[in-house]
Amino acid sequence: MGYLLHILILIGIYVILAESLNLIAGYAGLLSIAHAAFYGVGAYVAALLALNYAVPPWLTVPAAMVAAAAVGALVAWPALRVRDDYFVVATFAFQVIVFSVMNNWVALTSGPLGLPGIPRPDFFGLTVKSHGGFLLLTWLFAAGVVFVCWRLARAPFGRVLRALREDEVFAAALGKNVASFKVRVFAIGAAMAAVGGCLYAYYITFIDPTSFTVTESIFIISIVIVGGAGSLRGAALGAAVLVVLPEALRFVGLPSSVAANLRQIFYGLMLILFMVFRPQGLIGEFSFRRR
Interacting residue ranges for other proteins, rule: CB under 8 A: 148, 151-152, 154-160, 162-163, 166-167, 169-178, 184, 188, 285-286, 291
Q: Which amino acid is at 245?
A: L
Radius of gyration of the chain (CA): 18
Minimum distance from residue 159 beta carbon to other proteins (Å) = 6
- Are the beta carbons of 178 and 83 closer than 8 angstroms? no
Q: Which is nearer to other proteins, 169 or 252 (CB)?
A: 169
* Other Cβ atoms closer than 10 A to 117: 9
Helix or strand holding residue 127 (H, E): strand 126-127
Q: Which is nearer to other proteins, 33 or 188 (CB)?
A: 188
- Are the beta carbons of 190 and 68 closer than 8 angstroms? yes
Closest CA to 244 of 216, 225, 263, 271: 263
Minimum distance from residue 125 beta carbon to other proteins (Å) = 29
Minimum distance from residue 76 beta carbon to other proteins (Å) = 13
Q: Which is nearer to other proteins, 57 or 158 (CB)?
A: 158
State the SS3 of 57-110.
Answer: HHHHHHHHHHHHHHHHHHHHHHHCCCCHHHHHHHHHHHHHHHHHHHHHCHHHHC
Minimum distance from residue 289 beta carbon to other proteins (Å) = 13
Minimum distance from residue 81 beta carbon to other proteins (Å) = 13
- Are the beta carbons of 232 and 153 closer than 8 angstroms? yes
Minimum distance from residue 236 beta carbon to other proteins (Å) = 19
Q: Which is nearer to other proteins, 51 or 148 (CB)?
A: 148
Q: Which is nearer to other proteins, 126 or 169 (CB)?
A: 169
Q: Which is nearer to other proteins, 83 or 151 (CB)?
A: 151
Q: Which is nearer to other proteins, 107 or 169 (CB)?
A: 169
Mind giving me the DSSP string for 4-71? HHHHHHHHHHHHHHHHHHIIIIIIS----S-HHHHHHHHHHHHHHHHHHH---HHHHHHHHHHHHHHH
CA 55 to CA 62: how far, in whole Å? 11
Minimum distance from residue 107 beta carbon to other proteins (Å) = 36
